[in-house]
Amino acid sequence: MSRQSVAKAHQKIQELSWEPAYHEPVSQYGTDYTFRKAQKKDPLKQVLRSYFPMQEEKDHRVYGASDGAIRGNMFRQVQERWLEWQKLFLSIIPLPEISAARAMPLLFRTVPNPELHNGQAIQMIDEVRHSTIQQNLKRLYMNNYIDPAGFNSSLRNFQSDYCGTIGRQFAEGFITGDAITAASIYLTIVAETAFTNTLFVAMPAEAAANGDYLLPTVFHSVQSDESRHISNGYATLLMALADEDNHQLLARDLRYAWWNNHRVVDAAIGTFIEYGTKDRRKDRESYAEMWRRWIYDDYYRSYLVPLEKYGLEIPHDLIEESWNQIWNKGYVHEVAQFFATGWLANYWRIDPMTDKDFEWFEYKYPGWYDKYGAWWENYNRLSMPNGHKPIVFEDVDYEYPHRCWTCMVPCLVREDMVMAKVDGQWRTYCHEMCKWTDETAFRPTYQGRQTPNMGKLIGHREWETLYHGWNWADVVSDMGFVRDDGKTMVAQPHLDLNPDKMWTLDHLRKCPPLASPNVLLNEMSDAERTAFAARYVKGGPAGRPAPADA
Amino acid sequence: MTTTQDSPKTERSVPKPVFTDAEAGAQVFPDSTLRHYNYYKPQKRKQSHYEDVTVDVQPDPRHYLSQGWLYGFSDGRGGYPLDWTALKAWGSDKPSPERGPGTGGLFVKDWPATGWHEFRDPNEEWELTLYRYNSNVVRQVTQNVEAAKQSKAFEQWNTNWVRFVEHHIGAWMHVDHGLGLYLYANANRRAPTNMHNNAISVNSMHRIRSAQDLALYNLTLSEEIEGFDGSAHLDTWNNDPAWQGVRDVAEQLTGIDDWCEAIFAANIVFEPLVGELFRSQLVQQAAPRNGDFVTPTVVGAAEYDFAERDLRYSTAMFELLTNDKEFADHNKAILSDWMANWTTKSLEAARKLQPLWSQPDAKPPRFEDGLDRVKNRFSGIVTSLGLEVPKELAQ
């Protein structure tokens, strides 16, 4: 269709909507936002007559490339270090995608703009596309990559493992609680507009550098849909801003959504890009540099800041603090180190870092080696079973961290850990902001205002609680992270597939039992707990326990 | 003679290909040949492509979700509560495992834990299939209308038929649009498995696409037929007494809270009794007699969506529930109540449409004959589900 006919067609389909004359549609989701003064415009202007063939054409390109990759033996050139992390990433991402589809109905009754509903319905089916095309990519990896373990058990793993649980926030946050908080601010304004840049643009570039051109093929195709979703979010945000009563809630939700996305997405994608790559060219961008470009400049300065004049309270302090976490406090490095410490609870293999990696890290993050170098040398030394235990049980100057109750990433920047008794339970938080999210934001009142539709943090948020007191061999068996010989673990702290060099349940059987930090915290006396906290915040960096005289 | 010298070439900084031999089969080790998703049982002997990309993406605390749902509504409920429908599948009353300190994952060994997870969409819809199918439809519809324009086919239409199309074909677009968004798309948040919700979301797109097909067809007719009133459908939908019954039921359908009732009322009752009556027994019969070979191709696309795809997944979904090993009787009783209620409403709406049958110059088969046909078809659908034909059908 010509552009003119697209405009006419879009104008025509506006005739489709109608106000109910006899009965109201069902109202199943609540919001504390109001849309009394909202303007009603659909920025998307998408008509299905052109949408379906466009998507089909995109599919042709994706599946053509998939065939080409197999015929051209792409996997002979794929870096295992990279593909292993895809076992985690591709176990997580199909759920957030499909949850975004499920989130769209939350907006039908709460955002009174029939024009926008058309765009939301298209987003819904886009998200079905993303979820299934990503499941399909994983299936292709499983069939063609050397080690299918972890891909073949992917969704079981994701649903029972703590890493999956961290990632699951990036799905459940879209579909529950206040409809606008969830499906608009958290999903479209922050997750899609800010963080899909690193997820679907920066990360695929790194995949290509590691011999995998299928991830960019699929994810750039996915990202080409995101611009439409960003438009949906922007239109809703402008509608919300038109009503001053919403400004307080917008400020709350931007703070929560920004911080949670930073904690979760930067943890995962930062680790994949920095520790999953073999490309150590000095002029290739680090995650910090990518973040500065894609998130700080493109999102914060170009998208968010201009909205300030419309009354949007921008969380400038949190954006700067996120940068501070990444650049000064080594957030990504702390997370990667933790994943590697806890390799035995995972379902992928983590390659040790080499001198070449060290050199690159030191170049990109001056001072890196002094903090993390010795630990990674120990990781390398302890990677093959040789009479010792997995690194988490060995004396490598690393203290197993407590977990953040809100974002569920452990409290890795030790000095930022805070503690509170909430709902009758002592909880640790990785940062004051995560404490605020639990204590203040996700509550039925906010700054004296009734917020009856706000959601709740629920569930067994500390994974270790479930296995408190268990032998590690039983933990790994229970989760099913065992290969088909019944004893070799899916996870390994190296990439050697020689069965003689792989860790088995027999090795784990000899290890000390798993202890839940949160269970232990709640068993402490008040004095012990105070002493624990005082000591914990003096620990780090790189997981080092506080000095004895601290 | 002059010589040229290549200027020194600066090597670009690009990642270098590396031979890694990370190809399937390069080594033998535990799991090296286990190349299928091992966390679900296929419906048939072999795992299908559709199942691989669909099953278990939406988790269930009864299965592997050991830490439970993490975010809830203000009442503390998260995920996809089973009581969002009154129907039950076996295992529904069995509580989720109570996990806590030291319990481990308490993963269900004998899966599925509920009958809900037995459902598979017989259309096997995922992204590849849904875009392929709908692209074919919009291409074919566009080509049909274009060919009609080229051959001046609309000049054959008599005035009464032009009025019929502008008012009544146009009015149906509102049904498709309203249900597509506020019934089907809405329901894609409600069902307990990914297989249900994906099938429902595809159904939603069929209806929204069909609404747009009709709207854009209406736009073309406005451009091609002198005096064609492209906005007449609005007045018909808003004010024509013949359509107010359909509108009343359509609005009631969007007001249903129970997602199973919504799909059942729409796809098992309303569509066979009202949708097919309008499309197959009126439009498809009357159009050719009035010189119109184009409209049936547009409306026929929607008819195929329903008859061959949406009805197909719906019957598969409800057959499981009426044959459920634990709750068959419970489900049949509820479905029968729903059927009685929606049959009454749908037949009232259908009868109000009767004046349409007398409007074209060349008349379609009698309204009562058409109604008998759709009643017979409806009876067949209902019987195939193991339900009794409702006495309300005799109205």
Report the DSSP beta bridge partners of residue A349: A492
Query: Which DSSP state fits A451?
Result: -
B173 touches chain A (CB under 8 A): yes
- Residue B381 confidence (pLDDT) above 80: yes
Sorted by sequence, the CB contacts under 8 Å of residue A197 that are 6+ apart come out as A294, A295, A298, A299
Of B376, B349, B116, whose CA–CA distance to B248 is shortest?
B349
- Measure CA of the first residue to CA of the last residue in chain B; give whole Å: 104
Q: Considering the domain boundaries, does residue A493 fall inside one?
A: no
Q: pLDDT for B146-186, tens place per residue? A: 999 999 999 999 999 999 999 999 999 999 999 999 999 99
* Alpha-carbon span A302 to A234, nearest angstrom: 13
pLDDT of residue A115: 83
**In chain A, which residues have their Cβ closer than 8 Å to the Cβ of B124?**
none
φ and ψ at A395, to 5 degrees? Answer: -85, 90
A37 found inside a domain: no
pLDDT (0 to 100) of residue B395: 77
Q: B54 to each of A158, A342, A375, B389, how far by Cα in Å?
A: 15, 30, 41, 34
| A404 Rama class: left (phi>0) / alpha (psi -120 to 50) / beta | beta
CA-CA distance, A287 to A269, in Å (whole number)?
8
Q: Would an 8 Å CB–CB cutoff place A28 in contact with chain B?
A: yes
Secondary structure of A14-68 as H, E, C letters: HHHCCCCCCCCCCCCCCCCCCCCCCCCCCCCCCCHHHHHHHHHHHHHHHHHHHHH
Helix, strand, or coil here: A427? strand
- Whole-number pLDDT of residue B90: 96
Question: Does residue B269 carry a pLDDT above 90?
Answer: yes
- A420-476 pLDDT tens trace: 999 999 999 999 999 999 999 999 999 999 999 999 999 999 999 999 999 999 999
CA angle A209–A322–A264, rounded 5-degree value = 65
Closest by CA position to B115, among listed B94, B151, B88: B88
Q: Supply the pLDDT for residue A233.
A: 92
The pLDDT value given to residue B6: 67
Above 90 in pLDDT, residue A68?
Answer: yes
pLDDT band at A201 (very low <50, low <70, confident <90, very high): confident
CB contact under 8 A, B23 and A454: no
Evaluate whether ipTM surpasses 0.90: yes
CA distance B84 to B186: 13
Euclidean distance between CA atoms A432 and A417, whole angstroms = 8
Of B20, B35, B173, the CB nearest to A80: B20
Q: For B48-126, where are the alpha helices, taking DSSP H only?
A: 49-54
CB B324 within 8 A of CB B117: no
CB contact (8 A) between residue A63 and residue B128: yes
| Residue B7 scores a pLDDT above 80 | no
Beta-carbon contacts of B91 under 8 Å, excluding residues fewer than 6 positions away, are: B62, B112, B113, B114, B115, B326
The mean predicted confidence, pLDDT, of chain B is: 96
Helices (H), A262-299: 267-275, 287-291
In order of their start, the domains of chain B are 127-394 (1.10.620.20)
CATH number, domain containing residue A113: 1.10.620.20
**Is A179 within 8 Å of A246 (Cβ atoms)?**
no
* Angle of CA points A103, A107, A111, to nearest 5°: 165
Cβ neighbours for A451, distance < 8 A, ≥ 6 positions apart: A32, A178, A249, A443, A444, A445
B173 and A73 within 8 Å at the Cβ level: the answer is: no
CB A375 within 8 A of CB A396: yes
How is residue A512 annotated by DSSP? P
Q: Which residues of B touch A465 (CB under 8 A)?
A: 100-102
Asked if the structure places residue A3 within a domain, the reply is: no
Comparing CA positions, the residue from A415, A421, A449 lying closest to residue A435 is A421
Residues in A closer than 8 angstroms to B32, CB to CB, are 146-148, 497
Q: Tell me, what's the pLDDT at B5?
A: 65
10 Å Cβ neighbour count for A11? 11
User: Given B103, B131, B174, which is nearest A55 (Cβ)?
Assistant: B131
Nearest to A206 by CA among A83, A95, A333: A83
pLDDT score for B113: 84
Among candidate residues B71, B129, B67, the one with its CA nearest the CA of residue B101? B67
Q: What is the mean pLDDT of residues A484-488?
A: 98
Residue ranges of A 132-151 with Cβ closer than 8 A to chain B: 132-133, 135-136, 139, 142-149
* Cβ within 8 Å, pair A460-B66: yes
What pLDDT, on a 0 to 100 scale, did the predictor assign at position B3? Answer: 57
Chains A & B: contacts with CB separation below 8 Å: 383
pLDDT tens string A121-174: 999 999 999 999 999 999 999 999 999 999 999 999 999 999 999 999 999 999
Confidence of residue A202 (pLDDT cuts 50, 70, 90): confident
| Nearest residue of B to residue A102, measured between CA atoms | B189
Identify whether A288 is part of a domain: yes
What tokens appear for B160 in the block? Answer: 């009464």
Residue B239 sits at the chain A interface (C-beta within 8 Å): no
Count of domains observed in chain A: 1
A466–B238: do the CB atoms touch at under 8 Å? no
Instruction: Give the domain extent around A211.
Output: 56-450
Measuring CA to CA, which residue among A380, A365, A407 is closest to residue A541? A365
* Cβ-defined contact of A456 to B208 (cutoff 8 Å): no
Give residues 249 to 268 of B whose Cβ lies within 8 Å of A.
Answer: 251-252, 254-257
A503 occurs within a structural domain? no
The Cβ-side half-sphere exposure at A154, using a 13 Å CA radius, reads 35
Q: A425-429 and A445-446 as β-strands: parallel, antiparallel, unpaired? A: unpaired
A221-265 pLDDT, tens per residue? 999 998 889 988 999 999 999 999 999 999 999 999 999 999 999
Q: How many helices and strands in chain A, by DSSP H and E?
A: 26, 5
pLDDT value at A69 more than 70: yes
Whether the CB of B373 is below 8 Å from some CB of chain A: the reply is no
Q: What percent of chain A has pLDDT over 90?
A: 91
How many residues comprise chain B?
395
**Tally of CB atoms within 10 A around A1:** 14
The answer to whether the CB of A128 falls within 8 A of the CB of B127 is yes
Q: Which range (A195-199, A369-373, B193-197, B227-231) has the least confidence?
A: A195-199
Report how far residue B46's alpha carbon sits from residue B50's, in angstroms, rounded to the nearest whole number.
11
Where helices occur in chain B by DSSP H, the ranges are 49-54, 127-150, 159-164, 170-179, 186-187, 194-224, 232-239, 241-254, 259-263, 276-278, 284-289, 295-304, 311-322, 328-352, 367-384
A269 and A287 Cβ atoms separated by less than 8 Å? yes
- Distance CA(A252)–CA(B255), nearest Å, equals 32
What stretch of H or E contains A457?
Answer: strand A456-457
> CB count, 10 Å around CB of A4?
8
CB atoms A132 and B53 under 8 Å: yes
For the stretch A51-65, pLDDT in tens is 999 999 999 999 999
Does residue A501 belong to the interface with chain B, where contact is any CB pair within 8 Å? no
**Residues within 8 A of A (CB atoms), B 107-166 only:** 107, 126-128, 130-132, 134-135, 137-139, 142
CB-CB contact of B64 with B58 (8 Å): no
- Answer yes or no: is A507 within a domain: no
Query: Residue A227: its pLDDT value, please?
Result: 84
The runs of H, that is alpha helices, within A210-307 are 214-241, 247-261, 267-275, 287-291
Candidates A8, A14, A48: best to mutate against B (most CBs of B within 10 A) is A48
Angle between helix A162-175 and A267-275 (nearest 10): 130
Give the C-alpha separation, B338 to B336, whole Å: 5
3-state DSSP helix/strand/coil % of chain A, to nearest 5: 60, 5, 35
Instruction: Give B-chain residues touching A488 at CB under 8 angstroms.
Output: 29-31
State residue A127's pLDDT score: 97
User: Which residue of B18, B67, B127 is in closest CB contact with A459?
Assistant: B67
Is residue A301 in some structural domain? yes
Is the pLDDT confidence value at B91 over 90? Answer: yes
Whether residue B268 is predicted with pLDDT greater than 80 in this model: the reply is yes
| Residue A437 confidence (pLDDT) | 98
A512 touches chain B (CB under 8 A): no
- For B13, counting Cβ atoms within 10 Å of its Cβ (0-12 exposed, 13-18 middle, 19+ buried), the class is exposed
pLDDT of residue B9: 76
The pair of three-digit structure tokens given for residue A206, joined into one six-digit string: 């790194």
DSSP structure class, residue A489: B
Q: How far apart are CA B69 and CA A40, in angstroms?
A: 35
- The C-alpha atoms of residue B79 and residue A256 are separated, in whole angstroms, by 20
The reply to whether A19 touches chain B by the CB within 8 Å rule is: no
pLDDT band at A273; cut points 50, 70, 90: very high
- Give residue A38's pLDDT band: very low, low, confident or very high (50, 70, 90): low
Structure tokens at A271: 């680790």
Residue A95 near chain B (CB below 8 Å)? yes
Nearest by Cα to B83 from B112, B114, B122, B120: B114
Determine contact: B234 vs chain A, CB below 8 A.
yes
Look at residue A295 and tell me if it is in a domain.
yes
Please check whether residue A406 is in contact with residue A435, taking contact to mean a CB–CB distance below 8 angstroms. yes
Rounded distance between C-alpha atoms, residue B384 and residue B315, angstroms: 8
Chain B CB contacts of A454 below 8 Å: 74
Q: What angle do CA A489, A494, A496 make, to 5 degrees?
A: 85
Q: DSSP letter string over A60-114? A: HHHHHHHHHHHHTTGGGS--HHHHHHHHHHHHHTHHHHHHHHHHTHHHHTTS--H
**Counts for chain B of helices (H) and strands (E), in that order:** 15, 1
What was the pLDDT predicted at A518? Answer: 98
Partner B contacted by A483 (CB < 8 A): yes
Alpha-carbon span B295 to B285, nearest angstrom: 11
Q: CB neighbours of A513 closer than 8 A, spacing ≥ 6?
A: A469, A470, A471, A472
pLDDT band at residue B27 under the 50/70/90 scheme: very high
DSSP codes, B230-256: TTHHHHHHHH-HHHHHHHHHHHHHHT-
Separation in Å, CA A414 to CA A330, A419, A543, B201, B221? 11, 12, 8, 45, 69
Q: What is the per-residue pLDDT for B118?
A: 96
